[in-house]
């Protein structure tokens, strides 16, 4: 946990405690005695996201929890997290989680199957020719705590793992990773781990159950400049980590479909 703008930790704790209550920007800023403008600036500098975007992300995470642990209707869940329109809630959930609310609610059995299929893989190799080193992002990933399982890693458009990554893959262990033919642009590296044998409900809701890492600083890919080698470490969840919104089984399934032809 960083001490930079440590007062933001107080706001994050307040947001978590009052996530079902109205949380306008003025309320959050007043909580630590800052102007909305100054609060927004330092919150984004510390967390990487604007305050209200962070709040909406946590509310979608709560929606995922309610979908798996209650029998509330999807309309009632939408209202519970402050969305009056079922259509708006469904659209935002689908864009940021990757599946509709009803698909997510019914995904536990499929999620278990994907993790088991990954554990049985004999080869995790993907064809990764390097046609242009300038458009390659590579690095090394380590873990602060030992584990055996799968690592899901990707380059995202925002500093939060939501929606499908622009470039992504799965790893069977810590070590090197590489993304090739990356279009010039600005990306954020995100990764998380799922231990073998973990229950589907735990990696469908990976709030506090999986190691993770993210780059608060963007990864900038330029057409005529090599991207520096990245070195990241998976760590236990921290208070200032944004929620993992993308449904991890989607990434597992996508990877399995990619490697299946190579195993024939």
Domain CATH number, residue 206: 2.60.40
For the chain, state the CA radius of gyration.
19
pLDDT at 1: 42
Q: Is residue 76 part of a domain?
A: yes
Looking at the fold, whether 77 and 151 belong to one and the same domain comes out as no
Domain count, the chain: 2
pLDDT at 181: 92
pLDDT at 126: 60
Q: Is residue 124 part of a domain?
A: no
Looking at the fold, whether 66 and 153 belong to one and the same domain comes out as no
Q: Is residue 86 part of a domain?
A: yes
pLDDT at 130: 62
The whole-chain average pLDDT of the chain stands at 91
* Full domain range(s) for residue 136: 129-262
Q: Is residue 258 part of a domain?
A: yes
Which of 105, 140, 159 marks a domain boundary? 105
pLDDT at 70: 96
Which residues, including other chains, have CB under 8 Å from residue 90's CB and lie 6 or more apart? 74, 78, 100, 101
> Which residues, given as ranges, of the chain have pLDDT below 70?
1-3, 125-131, 216, 261-264
pLDDT at 187: 97
Looking at the fold, whether 190 and 249 belong to one and the same domain comes out as yes
pLDDT at 147: 86
Q: Is residue 135 part of a domain?
A: yes
pLDDT at 255: 93
């Amino acid at each position: 946990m960083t001490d930079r703008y440590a007062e933001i930790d107080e706001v994050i704790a307040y947001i978590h405690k009052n996530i079902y209550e109205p949380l306008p920007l003025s309320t959050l800023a007043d909580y630590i005695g800052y102007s909305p403008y100054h609060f927004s600036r330092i919150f984004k500098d510390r967390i990487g996201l604007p305050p209200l975007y962070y709040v909406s992300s946590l509310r979608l995470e709560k929606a995922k929890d309610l979908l798996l642990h209650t029998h509330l209707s999807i309309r009632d869940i939408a209202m519970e997290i402050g969305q009056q329109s079922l259509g708006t809630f469904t659209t935002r959930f689908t864009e940021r989680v990757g599946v509709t609310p009803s698909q997510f609610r019914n995904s536990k059995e499929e999620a278990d199957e994907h993790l088991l299929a990954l554990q049985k893989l004999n080869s995790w190799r993907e064809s990764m020719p390097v046609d242009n080193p300038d458009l390659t992002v590579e690095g090394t990933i380590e873990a602060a705590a030992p584990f055996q399982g799968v690592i899901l890693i990707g380059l995202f458009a925002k500093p939060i793992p939501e929606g499908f990554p622009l470039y992504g893959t799965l790893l069977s262990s810590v070590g090197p990773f590489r993304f090739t033919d990356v279009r010039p642009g600005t990306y954020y590296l995100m990764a998380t781990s799922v231990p073998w044998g973990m229950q589907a409900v735990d990696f469908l809701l990976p709030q506090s159950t999986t190691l993770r890492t993210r780059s608060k600083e963007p990864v900038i890919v330029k057409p005529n400049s090599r991207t520096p080698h990245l070195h990241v470490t998976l760590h236990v969840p921290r208070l200032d980590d944004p929620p993992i919104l993308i449904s991890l089984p989607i990434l597992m399934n996508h990877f399995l479909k990619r490697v299946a032809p190579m195993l024939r």
